[in-house]
Structure 1
Amino acid sequence: MTKFEALGLDKPLLDAISDLGFETPSEVQEKSIPVLLQDDTDLVALAQTGTGKTAAFGFPMIQKIHAESRTTQGLILSPTRELCLQITNELKLYSKYVKGLNTVAIYGGASITEQARQIKRGAQIVVATPGRMKDMIGRGMVDISKIDYCVLDEADEMLNMGFYEDIKDILSNTPKEKFTWLFSATMPKEVALIAKKFMHNPVEITVGTKNAGATTVQHEYYVVGGRDRYSALKRLADANPDIFSVVFCRTKRDTQKVAEKLIEDGYNAGALHGDLSQNQRDMVMNAFRKKQVQMLVATDVAARGIDVDDITHVINYQLPDEIETYTHRSGRTGRAGKSGISMVIVTRSELRKIKAIEKKIQQNFISKKIPSGMEICEIQLYHLASKIKQTEVNPEIDNYLPAINDVLDGIDRDELIKKIISVEFSQFYNYYNKTKDLNSEEEGSKKGMDHEQMPSDGSVRYFINVGERDGYDWMSLKDFLRETLGLEKEDVFNVDTKDSFSFFNTDAQLTGLILETFTDFKVDGRFINVEVSKKPVSGGKGGRKRERNRGHRKGGDNKSFKKGKKGGFGKKGGKKRSGFF
């Protein structure tokens, strides 16, 4: 018996699950599915985004629906068009072996008459955004008076977006004897009010701790002067050559402005905000999903429903007004069991907000410094060397080798390597060589907080020749180092994993142990080398960072750092790159 079979699912669903390659149910699925299958009950499930909630309510609904009847029996409300379409597509995959079951999506930005036509043909399950659903009810295009099941997905996000009245109006058109299943990442008072008003003795399921942030996300903050916020953003991106991120701003104006500046400075960036047309939004999101955009600058409302599992970083360019909003922001990374980083750029006057967020999400922030220009150069140098090593040789080069050898005649191996690296590294080095320290004088002081911080002057930074290509992220590499060295949890900190190499810190007194342990040290026949980094990076205790994906390009501070049209990176028609070099 498979783990999904043990939950009580029928063969058509199990066959679909097998096709999809699902092996082990997530916690929210394990807790929700048996309850919803065995009992006729209302349900409140609190779980972070990216934990498999669609299957948690989708499987039971599909199994309980009578496919032989064309009556609409299930209604799922979701906050955005993107999430509405995603849920619909997933339900269609789940129900592929259930003959006659139709799921229809209702959302704005598409033909309302075509959607009405699809429902008229027979839709046992309707997935809808509140605005379009209310409109279609008002026009008599949809009948939800006989539904048996109603799902409010991402309930807190719908209420944050101002859909409370719409939801009330929609639910007033449904029968009182239905069963309502509410799924939410947090439980603000508005969600509790909906539960109280429209649900009867709901079973409550909590995955993790109520209102807490995901444990796969590390939270970091960087204190800078107000004028250096944009420069700090670029340095954080430059220090993570393979970043794939969402950058959050408070207003549509700031979102557009930051995105435009990033694009001007050569980054693969895009803007997502409410002033975009649906077509513009679709183009940006498609480019982001294909990783053609590595830095998506977004407002909180516009980012609702973004469901991309590989986001390595969430960067809070500005903190939101509501703590629950921060929870949603950070939940965009560290999804589907992967780890992620949530970075916050703050001024000294905003430090009190960090304390409030910590209390709410029940996780500590790590105080970290904005990398210096030389630290960024070191990371980029290793990244370039790694990229050269991993590049597949184009066989057409063989035709040109005789002439190339003539040109390079007389240059020895070491000199040739230096020249190849210098072709691009020199530009980066020359730019960053004399840039200023962006860290605020009191960065990391965090007045009024009781978190012990590792003194930066008492730590040593190391380079290690393994990274994400070897299956490590900041969590697993930290565990590997602790277990190998026999250290305590807090002895290894500030772990930064890159594509094929990484950095980490320990107290200075452990240097001898570390270098001795990793002398002629092998894992599966491969030498693991550890060296003291030439440009140590200081950071708070337990610090760890991670990044992935394709590059977004170079950087710098308050002026553009570009090569021009000859080799413009991150530009349309420019070179395709996996880093800044």
Structure 2
Amino acid sequence: MNFNDLNISDEIKSSINQMGFDKLTPIQKLTIPKTLGGSDLIGQAQTGSGKTLAFGIPVVEKIFTPDRSPQAIILCPTRELCMQVAGEIEKIASEIKKFKVLAVYGGQPIGKQTRVLKKGVHVIVGTPGRVIDHIERGNLDLIGIEMVVLDEADEMLEMGFRQDIELILTKTPPQRQTLLFSATIPDEIKQIAQKYQKNPKFVKVSDKRDNLPKITQYAFKCNIKDKFEGLTRLIDAYDVRLALIFCNTKKSVDYVAKHLKKQDFSVDSLHGDMTQKTRDRVMNRFKNGNISILVATDVAARGLDIDNVDVIVNYDVPQNHDDYVHRIGRTARAGKTGLAFVLVSKDEINRFNTIKNANSTKIIEKELPTPKQIRNIKNRQTLKSAEVIIKNENLEEYIDVIKEYSSNKDYLIVAASLLKMMREN
């Protein structure tokens, strides 16, 4: 099925075409017709499956633009995801005149958001806390809401937003349409669905996404005290340019980032205890390539969408397979290939085996590279760089110097000494 087959406006079809999309992803194919038909829905799908368009297209299709009051609200766990979702909604609606969408989140002056709200907005994309702030200040009335979307619902619950979400839902009309998207479906989500949805359709897209086979996955078993050294060996051995390292706790994030900095790696960290201003600064540095390694927790990395991440490292084994798939899906974006590593200590073996058995593609177990192997790899990388210079640059001046200096010496010995000098300085 492609987007032209959907019962949506020509303006939206044109916008989707300009965005470069043709065929629907599985989650879009299974949910959009149901949502356009008015059904409540629970969609289980991983990040990268195309779920933003899955709910974004029906949201935009159902907006009546002459009415300038909010008609749809999308709740997201983080500021980053709010901005990303709002940007996608704007693209979908780019050919619809006077269509207004607003992202509301903490860390931005509330006055600016208030002024935009008072001018009239069709779609609100917000974090639960800031949405409630606007409701309590009288800036936001949800009486006209016809559609509510809970995006990354499991993460919002994990971050403690359940009470906020339920309060927002009670402020919307009972006849609203409610869509719930989540990577996992824990009991809390089932309880919210039972309480606030009307006979929802349940749709699950398997983890066997198109990009997973493009990710080569390796596991390295090691003692817990050797994990950090193992991490640095992997970074050296695989010539990492842009890497995302996942840890299970903020304490682990701080430890890894601190010790990588001590070894002069270009690194920064991201976790939920940081101020929004600090998180924005770190995210921008990583997106712009000013740092090559970002160490983060799962929640902090939600909404992080970088096309050129070479390597994902699971410094800690994730809690379950869904989290594993979500993490490694941050590489091999936009048709590229990628690497995913997991470091497994003895007390994590059972959890790792559960993930490995559930995985749709093979996780290859390997030994960590030895210091000697890393030296050999680095030597070969230096010689590859030399090959590029040989092909592309004029070396006559340097050849003359070598000839003059090496009249009684073996060229091979001179080359070896130069390589040693380069590698050790």
Q: Find out whether 1:34 has 2:28 as its counterpart.
A: no
Equivalent residue number for residue 131 of structure 1: 129
Q: 1:223 to 1:210 in 2, by over 3 A?
A: closer
Q: 1:372 to 1:129 in 2, by over 3 A?
A: same
Secondary structure at 2:194 match in 1:
helix
Equivalent residue number for residue 147 of structure 2: 149
For residue 9 of structure 1, what is the amino acid of its counterpart? I
Aligned-pair Cα RMSD in Å:
2.9
C-alpha distance in structure 1 between counterparts of 2:185 and 2:305, whole Å: 21
Measured after TM superposition, the shift of residue 176 of structure 1 is 0.8
C-alpha distance in structure 2 between counterparts of 1:262 and 1:245, whole Å: 13
After TM superposition, the structure 1 = structure 2 runs for residues 443-454 of structure 1, keeping only pairs within 5 Å, are none
Equivalent residue number for residue 69 of structure 1: 67
Please report the TM-score for the alignment, with normalisation by the length of structure 1: 0.67
Measured after TM superposition, the shift of residue 418 of structure 1 is 7.2
Equivalent residue number for residue 291 of structure 2: 293
C-alpha distance in structure 2 between counterparts of 1:186 and 1:106, whole Å: 25
Secondary structure at 1:181 match in 2:
strand
After TM superposition, the structure 1 = structure 2 runs for residues 468-483 of structure 1, keeping only pairs within 5 Å, are none
Equivalent residue number for residue 407 of structure 1: 401
More moved, 270-279 vs 122-131 = 270-279
Measured after TM superposition, the shift of residue 118 of structure 1 is 0.7
Equivalent residue number for residue 260 of structure 2: 262
C-alpha distance in structure 2 between counterparts of 1:220 and 1:210, whole Å: 18
| Kept after mapping to 2: 8 A contact 1:217/1:334 | yes
Count of residues paired in the alignment: 422
After TM superposition, the structure 1 = structure 2 runs for residues 183-202 of structure 1, keeping only pairs within 5 Å, are 183-202=181-200
C-alpha distance in structure 1 between counterparts of 2:419 and 2:264, whole Å: 15
Q: 1:423 to 1:81 in 2, by over 3 A?
A: farther
After TM superposition, the structure 1 = structure 2 runs for residues 122-521 of structure 1, keeping only pairs within 5 Å, are 122-208=120-206, 217-321=215-319, 324-358=322-356, 365-390=363-388, 404-410=398-404, 411=406, 423=418
| Kept after mapping to 1: 8 A contact 2:311/2:341 | yes
For residue 65 of structure 1, what is the amino acid of its counterpart? I
Equivalent residue number for residue 16 of structure 2: 17
C-alpha distance in structure 2 between counterparts of 1:402 and 1:243, whole Å: 32
C-alpha distance in structure 2 between counterparts of 1:392 and 1:44, whole Å: 58
C-alpha distance in structure 2 between counterparts of 1:187 and 1:215, whole Å: 25
C-alpha distance in structure 2 between counterparts of 1:286 and 1:415, whole Å: 51
Measured after TM superposition, the shift of residue 427 of structure 1 is 6.5
| Kept after mapping to 1: 8 A contact 2:244/2:309 | yes
Q: 1:196 to 1:425 in 2, by over 3 A?
A: farther
Equivalent residue number for residue 88 of structure 2: 90
Percent of aligned pairs sharing the same letter: 36
Measured after TM superposition, the shift of residue 364 of structure 1 is 5.6
Measured after TM superposition, the shift of residue 221 of structure 1 is 2.4
Measured after TM superposition, the shift of residue 417 of structure 1 is 7.8
Equivalent residue number for residue 104 of structure 2: 106
Equivalent residue number for residue 7 of structure 2: 8
Give unmatched runs, 5+ long, in structure 1: 431-562, 564-581
For residue 57 of structure 2, what is the amino acid of its counterpart? F
C-alpha distance in structure 1 between counterparts of 2:390 and 2:77, whole Å: 44
Secondary structure at 1:309 match in 2:
coil
C-alpha distance in structure 1 between counterparts of 2:280 and 2:414, whole Å: 43
More moved, 368-377 vs 249-258 = 249-258
C-alpha distance in structure 2 between counterparts of 1:277 and 1:209, whole Å: 33
For residue 113 of structure 1, what is the amino acid of its counterpart? G
| Kept after mapping to 2: 8 A contact 1:187/1:210 | no
Measured after TM superposition, the shift of residue 139 of structure 1 is 1.6
More moved, 46-55 vs 10-19 = 10-19
| Kept after mapping to 1: 8 A contact 2:207/2:325 | no
| Kept after mapping to 1: 8 A contact 2:208/2:360 | no
Measured after TM superposition, the shift of residue 121 of structure 1 is 0.8
| Kept after mapping to 2: 8 A contact 1:46/1:210 | no
Secondary structure at 1:175 match in 2:
coil
Q: 1:95 to 1:150 in 2, by over 3 A?
A: same
For residue 16 of structure 2, what is the amino acid of its counterpart? I
For residue 130 of structure 1, what is the amino acid of its counterpart? P
| Kept after mapping to 2: 8 A contact 1:50/1:309 | no
